[in-house]
Copies of this chain bind each other. A is one copy, B any other.
């Protein structure tokens, strides 16, 4: 991290240090700014320990009636114990952590957790469940935010956690093939040793699994640079509801032989099939990574800085994130993270990754100089070392965690034309007035993706009624999406019509009926309770 000066003089100092002819002097961030650099790698257990003022079951109104699936019998259990020796878990203490999501906002009552190791075992499980009318909840790292990853009633939990083998990595093409249960961070570490990186990165990387990432079409922090999983996932192996194995595990960059079936499963939240293996195109590890943490006074300035940055940083820009001053207060208060710069209305995290450190530094230098000259940013600091980079990143990544300490969270993940994203926060604040404890906005500017959060001391149905459908109507008015990257899961399924027209949702229903005619896969999720026909 380069210096911690005051205001413009700090920026000028950063500029001097960024001179691409000079080496970067090491400085001591920890002394000046006590950010916990390990924060980016939260383990599930730690998160479960930290989160959750509200451990109650989601309100009955939000879950539909239990569908007439069979209940697990002694015979069923005997079958599963036989095909998965020691891996058909019924101990309630062990099943418990798979019944509740990490926000502790929804809780199921499953009594059976299955832990297959192979595709063939998943196939046997689903063939059996299909013929015995047993519902199944596929589960990866259980880090989702919309209640999609835990059972609603007594669905059998099918965990991919033990399916964590890497099949192959082609060091020429950068194509990785692995089982669905590989933890994202483990894949990242595997690749970094081989001079590659994963094309996606999330705050939950320490727990989330690649199969779950694909099933939920996870976005995250690198989407701006490397694009969505619809582009980077090259192949999938999927077990269908009836146990048939669909092998689309291509390791080719291009393949136009028929319909691209794998795309159907990307973002289908485990409702169309269980992803058992993934092949994915991985970018080369950048030789140079820099992170800027900047402050702006208005959102208009922030947008202008974004435009300037896209032009001047061009191909090395890999993230452009923001948080507002309310987020900073949460980080200060609940996580004791200090603001590394002076107080501003908005904070920007810009990351660059490139192949030549001196070129990248010069581009950053030119951008900062121009941003200062145009008075777009009022303060800022720069990091080039890995530990310092992680420290700055944690100011953005740990906002979600800080929020969980502020009371009950009403969470929204809205996609909008980028120039609109903060207007929703302002309008919501005005709309709610003193009814909310706090209304905060942060997210991915580069992707037009706002994370809007409203906090309240306790769960508050009156507050909720003031937020919804206001927030969805607002998003729909500006042709936004009511779920940019979190998915619909259990919590948002009935709001789909705000973002998708009826014929589209009806067609989704047809696809579900075609692939899972008995509806055993992740029931009550993604699709609305009533499928309205055109």
A contact set with B: CB distance below 8 Å: 170, 172-173, 216-217, 219, 223, 227-228, 230-232, 244-248, 250-261, 263-264, 266-268, 272, 284, 286-287, 303, 306-307, 310-316, 353-356, 359, 362-363, 415-419, 444, 447-449, 479-488, 492, 496, 499-501, 503-505, 507-508, 510-511, 514, 526-527, 534
B259 touches A264 (CB 8 A): yes
B355 near A359 with CB under 8 A, answer no
Pick the 4 closest A-B CB pairs, nearest first: A231-B231, A314-B355, A263-B263, A255-B481
Chain B residues near A362: list those with CB within 8 A: 356, 359
Give the residues in chain B near A232, CB-CB below 8 Å: 227, 231
A481 touching B257, Cβ below 8 Å: yes
CA distance A496 to B255 in the complex (A): 11
Contact A286 B307 (CB under 8 A): no
Q: Is the CB of B172 within 8 A of A419?
A: yes
User: Closest CB of chain B to A391's CB: distance in Å?
Assistant: 25
Q: Which residues of B contact A259 (CB under 8 A)?
A: 264, 267-268, 272, 508, 511, 526
**A231-B230, A356-B359 as given contacts; A499 in contact with B251, CB under 8 Å:** no
Q: Across the interface, which residues of B come within 8 angstroms of A256, CB to CB?
A: 216-217, 219, 267, 481, 483-488
Once bound together, how far apart are the Cα atoms of A217 and B254, in whole Å?
10
Decide: A496 and B267 in contact? CB cutoff 8 A.
no
Do B254 and A504 touch (CB < 8 A)? Answer: no
Residue in B251, B252, B268, B354 whose CB lies within 8 Å of A314:
B354
* Cβ A258 vs Cβ B417 within 8 A: no
Question: Are B255 and A415 in contact, CB atoms less than 8 angstroms apart?
Answer: yes
- Cβ–Cβ < 8 Å partners of A260 in chain B: 217, 230, 263-264, 266-267
Q: Are B257 and A482 in contact (CB under 8 A)?
A: yes
For the complex formed, measure the closest distance between the CB of A420 and the CB atoms of chain B, giving whole angstroms: 11
A168 to chain B, nearest CB (A): 11
Known contacts A256-B486, A496-B258, A514-B514; decide if A355 and B312 are in contact (CB<8 Å): yes
Looking at the assembled complex, report how far the CB atom of A310 sits from the nearest CB atom of chain B, in whole angstroms: 6
Which residues of the other chain, B, contact A444 by a CB distance below 8 angstroms? 254
Which chain B residues border A534 with CB–CB below 8 Å?
244
Could you tell me if B484 and A258 are in contact, using CB atoms closer than 8 angstroms?
A: no
Q: Which of A170, A253, A483 has the largest count of B CB atoms less than 10 A from its CB? A: A253
Contact present for A417 and B500 (CB under 8 Å):
no
Beyond known contacts A252-B481, A258-B505: 20 more, CB 8 A cutoff: A217-B260, A230-B231, A230-B260, A246-B504, A248-B500, A250-B479, A254-B444, A254-B449, A255-B415, A256-B267, A257-B488, A258-B500, A258-B526, A261-B508, A284-B311, A286-B315, A287-B314, A316-B355, A510-B514, A511-B514
Indicate whether A356 sits within 8 Å of B417 (C-beta atoms), given known contacts A216-B256, A267-B259, A307-B172. no
User: Please, could you name 8 A-B residue pairs with CB atoms under 8 Å apart, sorted by A?
Assistant: A230-B231, A245-B503, A248-B500, A253-B449, A257-B492, A258-B508, A259-B526, A315-B315
CA distance A457 to B199 in the complex (A): 48
- How far does the alpha carbon of A311 sit from the alpha carbon of B353 in the complex, in Å? 13
Most central of A257, A444, A481, A504 by chain B CB within 10 Å:
A257
Q: Which of B219, B488, B526, B527 contacts A254 (CB 8 A)?
A: B219
> A448–B173 contact, CB under 8 A?
yes
Chain B, residue nearest A487 (CB): B256
Q: How far is the CB of A533 from chain B (nearest CB, A)?
A: 11
Interface core residue of A252, A254, A307 (most chain B CB under 10 Å): A254
B447 touches A507 (CB 8 A): no
Give the complex CA separation of A356 and B367 in angstroms: 12
With a cutoff of 8 Å between Cβ atoms, the chain B residues found around residue A231 in the complex are 227-228, 230-232
- CB within 8 Å for A173 and B500 given contacts A254-B481, A286-B314, A527-B258: no
Q: Are B251 and A417 in contact (CB under 8 A)?
A: yes
Chain B residues contacting A496 (CB-CB under 8 Å) are: 257-258
A313 to B418, CA, bound (A): 31
Give the docked Cα–Cα distance between A488 and B256 (Å).
Answer: 7
The answer to whether B267 and A264 touch across the interface, beta carbons within 8 angstroms, is: no
Contact A499 B257 (CB under 8 A): yes
**How far, in angstroms, from A257 to B479 measured CA to CA in the complex?**
13
Closest Cβ of chain B to A162, distance in Å, is: 25
| Contact between chains at B483 and A257 (CB < 8 Å) | yes
Residues of B within 8 A of A170 (CB): 417
Contact assessment for B244 and A228 in the assembled complex, using a CB-CB cutoff below 8 Å: no
**Separation in Å of the A400 CB from the closest CB of chain B?**
17
CB of A258, distance to nearest CB on chain B (Å): 5
Whole-angstrom distance between the alpha carbons of A151 and B192 in the complex? 51
> Which chain B residue has the least Cβ–Cβ distance from A268?
B259
- A280 to B: closest C-beta gap in Å: 12
Chain B residues whose CB sits within 8 angstroms of the CB of A448 once the complex forms: 173, 252-254
Q: Which residue of B lies closest to A493 (CB)?
A: B258
> How far, in whole Å, are A484 and B416 apart by their CA atoms in the complex?
35
